[in-house]
Structure 1
C-alpha cells in the first residue's frame, strides 16, 4: 500500500466493576460476542487465544454481509494492560494497534483506550484531502467505539445489553 497517515484516538471510560471484570470482557469470547465489534444476535464467530502471539477473531453478520475483525496479542498484563493489533482484511491490509489500560478506582475501574489508526492515502491527494480523511477516520472510529463502550458498560454493570441488534 502507498502512503498513509497515523492518528491516535484516546478515550477514557469509568465502569462500576473491578478491573479484572473489564479485562475479562476484552479476552473472554463468550463476553466478546456480546459487545466487541458485534452483538450476540449478529455474531457468527468469537474466537480468542489470549496470550502474547495469540490471535483473536470476530465475525459479525449485518445487512446480509459478514464483517471480520482479526488481530494478534502483543502484550497481556492482567488485569492492568492489553495491547493487540486490529484489522479488517475485507477492507485493506492495514493494521492498527490498540492499547487498553485499567486502573482500580474507589468505585470500579478507569479504562483508558487508545488506538493508533492508520489512514491510507489515495493518489493525488492534497494536504487538505489527507487532513479531511484523517479527521473522518478518527471521528468515525470514535463514534463506533463510543457505541461499543456504552454496551460494554451496560453489560458489565447490569449483566445484559438492552440493544440486541
Structure 2
C-alpha cells in the first residue's frame, strides 16, 4: 500500500422532522435500503448491528455489478451523534476506512444535520504536491456530489415517506 493523505468533507442539511427520525434513517435497515449508498429498487442487502462495535453492510446492484459498502459503528448517542467507518472494498483498493460523523440537533421546527467524512486519498508513486492537491479536490468534489444526491433522497424519504427516483 502506498502513501495517503486525508481530507475532511463537512456538509449541513435541515430536515422538517425530529432528530430521532433522522437518526433512525441512518441505522434502520428498512430506511437504509432506500437511500444509503443504494436505492430500494437496486438494493440487495441492508443489514446492521446498530451498537458500538457492531457492523453495517449495504449491497447495491447496478449495471450487472454488486457494489458493497461496509463499516463499523464507533460511537452512538441517539439521537444526537453517530460515528462509523465506511469503505467500499471493491472500489477502494486499500484497507483504509473513512470515518463518518453525523451530528443532529433540534432547531425550532426542524432538525439540523452536520455530516463530516474524513476521506483517505491514496497517492500514486512519484506524485508531486500539485498532484496530491488535485486529487484532494477531485475526491472531495465527487464525494460531496454523491452525498448531495443521497441527502436529497433522505430528505424526501423523511418528509414524504418515499423517494420518487428509483433508479
Q: Could you say whether these structures have the same fold, taking a TM-score greater than 0.5 normalized by the shorter chain as the test?
A: yes
Alpha-carbon shift at residue 107 of structure 1 (Å): 1.0
Runs of 4+ in 1 over 4 A off after TM superposition: none
Q: d(CA) in 2 for partners of 1:108 and 1:28? A: 21
Q: What RMSD over aligned residues (CA atoms) do the two structures have, in Å?
A: 0.5
Please give the alpha-carbon distance, in whole angstroms, between the structure 2 residues aligned to 1:63 and 1:131: 32
TM-score computed with the length of structure 2 as normaliser: 0.98
Alpha-carbon distance between aligned partners in 1 of 2:150 and 2:57, rounded to the nearest angstrom = 16
How many residues are paired up?
165
> How far apart, CA to CA, are the structure 1 residues paired with 2:97 and 2:33?
21
Tell me which residue corresponds to 1:31: 31
Q: What are the Cα deviations for residues 96-119 of structure 1, in whole angstroms up to 9, with x where unaligned?
A: 000000000111200000000000
Instruction: Give, in whole Å, the separation in 2 of the partners of 1:69 and 1:134.
Output: 21
Report deviation, 1:126: 1.1
Alignment partners' CA distance in 1, 2:5 and 2:141? 15
The CA distance in 2 between the partners of 1:94 and 1:74, in whole Å, is: 15
Report the counterpart of residue 139 of structure 1 in structure 2: 141
Q: What residue in structure 2 maps to residue 104 of structure 1?
A: 106
CA displacement 1:62-119 (0-9 Å, x = unmatched): 1111000000000000000000000011122221000000000111200000000000
Q: Tell me if 1:122 matches 2:109.
A: no
Per the alignment, in what secondary structure is the counterpart of residue 34 of structure 1?
A: helix
What is the aligned counterpart of 1:154 among 151, 156, 165?
156
Query: Could you tell me how far 1:14 is from its partner in structure 2?
Result: 0.2
Structure 2 match to 1:79? 79
